[in-house]
Chain A
């Protein structure tokens, strides 16, 4: 395992090389950018082999002592166990495919303009940060990766820096996630103050010894970690940035805002599951947040016109499922869904990228249509990915993971969550197939040119395969890391029943989508033409108007204060002194009129004053 450090090292080197040579020829820059992640993926394969053949337990590799002040000893140490192996496999594996696709996408997108190397520098830096996040053996190092991915996300959303709008989207994404990060930081302070260490494994060992179930401290600590997780994973109430994050190039959305970074919150909670187990109320909250988010995102996805925003909201809702899974202590299932989601969501995003390029940078689904004839591969991919997303039974990867979540939510006694999730599943298949039907069926409105080349085909095909039941056959080695959760209350029969129910709901959803959106969509358009319908549509479209709310409650007051503050009123107050001095100067100068009689008079006055003072005091 001593080559563990190579995994993050390759992308880092790639990033450095690219950052310092922004004028590298496209081909070479692509080679470096994709190759470094490829090498990293090879290392990952080797690590997998070693892991399965060797003892199946955690290994630490300390690179150097990072900070050491008294008890505060943070190693630059990487820790590999089943969970982090799963994560790095996703990151480097899916990451490599996305990089490969990006090489095609960016070449098409930039059309020879500058910025190719810059793109891959950011991307490589992102992979490095993400690997650090999942490999860090202490929270301090994890936090470094955590912030690092935030930075890369910021840079990549704002990649098209010349657009004012994109820059603001990047800004928003960074600030909103930063709010979450502050909670994570406070959680770290708290944990360190309690246990004198930030080493995750030690924390997990020490926490149950110090805290009983439901201790206030445990609840607070868990709450703080949750705060970090919701920020990064775009869950309520910090979810508003994700849809805007779609301003970045599409491969970025695939890598960062679907497959990896946004799932960091899920990883964090799974990683520190012991603390959450000690905090039942917070855990309850995790599930609740997941459910509410997945419903809101589901409704929002129904009312989007931008293909990437549909996918963004679907991502939000799928992560809601993962949170729900965490909330019902189905730890391993959450990670399992994370993995399948990475496959199919990456597939969907890449495919949408392919479609967007094919349609000359058109992202509005209503301006596409009938693409199934010209874009055969993307159509197929979209069908497979959409099937997985809506968890169509048996053939899709999503079915296996999502059903597991539904079942365990029910089984662990969270009936309400289960109901919400089931309704969410219904929404999912409706909005997914709404998108597919609108984009690929109906009247052709645009003349696309299909993507070609290995870099375009290979990632799509591989991911498409992984998004079917083939992907669901991969079982992450989580047994030794994550506990099984509480015992269930129901038997096998109930499970089967529920699975069938879920499958029916999904299929019905597809059916309804077909009914509403295939053909001339009369019903929908007449609905949205009414006043209430229009208002509802806009309400959904803005994802329940959170942006509006935050703008009113946070942004505007802040700007108001800032404007008020521009003059620096404390300083203005201090500036009164010089003003006062000048005023006295003016008064005193007036006494200096050059007249001898006045001088004599003042002198006499002074004499009298002094003598009076002398006699009175």
Chain B
């Protein structure tokens, strides 16, 4: 197969990010300069983001059997790049006060973004595995980046060990699939699955192991135990990255896989996934109930949210595709802003992050807008109207009702009811009377900094999308597969 110009255009975002990583690496080798490195990364990611406009002119296009760059891929690429950018911005503010090598962080981040980009465009088990590893391996380093603090190092190692195990399952599953179907392309797999050949159970085992691996990445119950520890230990920008980019990429991939080979065709897989979804909604939210560490809390909350979103996989119809996009957009915006606030409050301080809830007590009376942002985020996570989170939850419920998945709908309601308790606790904490204890605070000019501006923009986006989601819906409904 010949590479034409349109193929090159289609690969532009990947190429640009690749180039950025190399340039950053070389730059560090030449001279260490934090601001320059961060700027370079930002420019590279931005360029990749803008190149998506060009990509749109050639979609859908298949670049080699491995990658299929369609509107669906472009949407999630954009999302990953934005999340990557946001993490970069936060990292910059965060690393300012970091008394160790700062610059390698951006390289790792770039690599991970590259892995994410590959994943959302992959249409082949090979590119899937390649993308997933490229996404994950740099993350081990990033999680352990502040390796002098025990928690950070611990979180990196935990993540690495468990993630490696998950990857092993993924490989095993892929091998089984290959053994049964003789192909690694999604489309062939789907066809073979629907045929339901003689050795259906091996196929089932294969796809089951793949599901397990991805469930691990999405931190779904019962593969969720790492979540809180890693979220807590990793530096705030890394957690933000982990909670967004990795989730987007894996979920987009999962969705593509299941659209090619719908689980609804296989009763047992269907039930199992539904079971996992229900458990995640309930268990995730229950675990967060009395959590006083906001980063852990976000970890548990993400378990619940991924559980809600899994409803979509169970449904696996056109509506589901739309919902995936909308939910991920809203979730990513919300999560980024939340961690953004955490990073802003944490960054001026040395040592581990300011994650204990009590430090946020009375934040509103010191930093009203920052607290307002946090409030909006908590409401959005809880799915209250006027925030984007509501639109996301609305779509999940709509999907559930449409596909008549009553148990999952009930799970969403139950999970939401439980989750209110801890979201509201965080929210009200911002407004209570400050105690006499030492106060952690964002620097007074946070609003003028890049991180601050980003957080405010995200908050506005969450509000606007919540009140007028029409553009987002148009956008997502344009992001079709194939």
Q: Residues on A close to B: CB < 8 A?
A: 578, 581-582, 584-585, 588-589, 591-592, 594, 596, 598-600, 602-603, 605-607, 609-611, 613-617
Contacts and interface: CB of A to CB of B under 8 A. Distances in A.
B222 interface: yes
B223 A615 contact: no
Contacts of B161: 596, 600
Given A599-B158, A607-B169, A611-B208, A617 B222 contact: no
Given A594-B229, A603-B165, A589 B287 contact: yes
* A598, A607, A609, A615 interface centre (most CB from chain B within 10 Å): A607
A-B pairs, 7 with minimum CB distance: A606-B222, A617-B268, A585-B289, A599-B225, A614-B208, A588-B287, A613-B272
Given A614-B204, A616-B268, A582 B289 contact: yes
A600 B290 CA distance: 25
Nearest to A617: B268
Interface of B: 157-158, 161-162, 165-166, 169, 201, 204-205, 208-209, 211-212, 216, 221-223, 225-226, 228-229, 267-269, 271-272, 275-276, 283, 286-287, 289-290, 418, 421
B222 A603 contact: yes
Contact of A614 (B223, B225, B268): B268
B268 A585 contact: no
A609 B222 contact: yes
Contacts of A614: 204-205, 208, 268-269, 272
Interface centre among A584, A599, A610, by most B CB within 10 Å?
A: A610
29 contacts: A578-B421, A581-B418, A581-B421, A582-B290, A585-B286, A585-B290, A589-B287, A596-B157, A596-B158, A596-B162, A603-B222, A605-B222, A606-B221, A606-B222, A607-B212, A610-B208, A610-B211, A610-B212, A610-B276, A611-B209, A613-B268, A613-B271, A613-B275, A614-B205, A614-B269, A614-B272, A617-B267, A617-B271, A617-B272
Given A594-B229, A613-B268, A614-B268, A585 B208 contact: no
Nearest to B269: A614
Nearest to B270: A617
Contacts of B267: 617
A589 B268 CA distance: 30
B225 A592 contact: yes
Given A594-B229, A610-B211, A584 B162 contact: no
Given A614-B205, A615-B201, A603 B225 contact: yes
Contacts of B286: 581, 584-585, 588
A576 to B, nearest CB: 14
Contacts of A598: 225
A328 B364 CA distance: 80
Given A582-B289, A588-B283, A610-B211, A603 B216 contact: yes
A584 B415 CA distance: 13
Contacts of B201: 615
B12 to A, nearest CB: 38
Which of A584, A592, A607, A614: most chain B CB closer than 10 A? A614
Given A598-B225, A603-B216, A614-B208, 5 more contacts: A610-B208, A610-B212, A614-B272, A615-B205, A617-B271
Nearest to B213: A607
B287 A615 contact: no
Contacts of B290: 582, 585, 589
Nearest to A583: B286
B201 to A, nearest CB: 6
A509 B229 CA distance: 99
B162 A603 contact: yes
B225 A611 contact: no
A608 to B, nearest CB: 10
Contacts of A609: 222
A613 B204 CA distance: 11
Contacts of B204: 614-615
B183 to A, nearest CB: 21
A599 B226 CA distance: 7
A427 to B, nearest CB: 70
B216 A592 contact: no
A598 B209 CA distance: 20
Contacts of B276: 610
B423 to A, nearest CB: 14
A607 B212 CA distance: 7
B225 A591 contact: yes
Contacts of B222: 602-603, 605-606, 609
A578 B290 CA distance: 12
Of A582, A603, A616, which is in contact with the most chain B CB atoms at under 10 Å from its CB? A603
A605 B165 CA distance: 13
A579 to B, nearest CB: 12
A214 to B, nearest CB: 59
A203 B404 CA distance: 59
A610 B214 CA distance: 13
A229 to B, nearest CB: 54
Nearest to B418: A581
B177 to A, nearest CB: 14
Contacts of B421: 578, 581
A581 B275 CA distance: 19
A591 B421 CA distance: 21
Contacts of B208: 610-611, 614
Contacts of B287: 585, 588-589, 592
B133 to A, nearest CB: 18
Contacts of A605: 222
A581 B205 CA distance: 34
B247 to A, nearest CB: 18
A315 to B, nearest CB: 62
A602 B283 CA distance: 15
A525 B62 CA distance: 120
Residue of B158, B204, B222 most packed against chain A (CB within 10 A): B222
A589 B162 CA distance: 19
A602 B204 CA distance: 22
B162 A599 contact: yes
Contacts of A599: 158, 162, 225-226
Given A602-B225, A614-B205, A581 B268 contact: no
A30 to B, nearest CB: 56
Nearest to B158: A596
Given A585-B290, A609-B222, A600 B228 contact: no
B208 to A, nearest CB: 5
Contacts of A616: 268
Nearest to B161: A596
Contacts of A615: 201, 204-205, 268
A603 B224 CA distance: 8
A609 B223 CA distance: 11
A606 to B, nearest CB: 3
Contacts of A592: 225, 228-229, 287
A581 B284 CA distance: 12
Nearest to A602: B225
Nearest to B216: A603
Contacts of B209: 607, 611
Contacts of A594: 229
A616 B271 CA distance: 11
Contacts of A600: 161-162, 165
A199 to B, nearest CB: 52
A589 B226 CA distance: 13
A583 to B, nearest CB: 10
A153 B7 CA distance: 96
B268 to A, nearest CB: 4
A616 B286 CA distance: 29
Contacts of B283: 588
Nearest to B222: A606
Nearest to A594: B229
B41 to A, nearest CB: 32
Contacts of A581: 286, 289, 418, 421
B296 to A, nearest CB: 9
A272 to B, nearest CB: 56
A588 B276 CA distance: 16
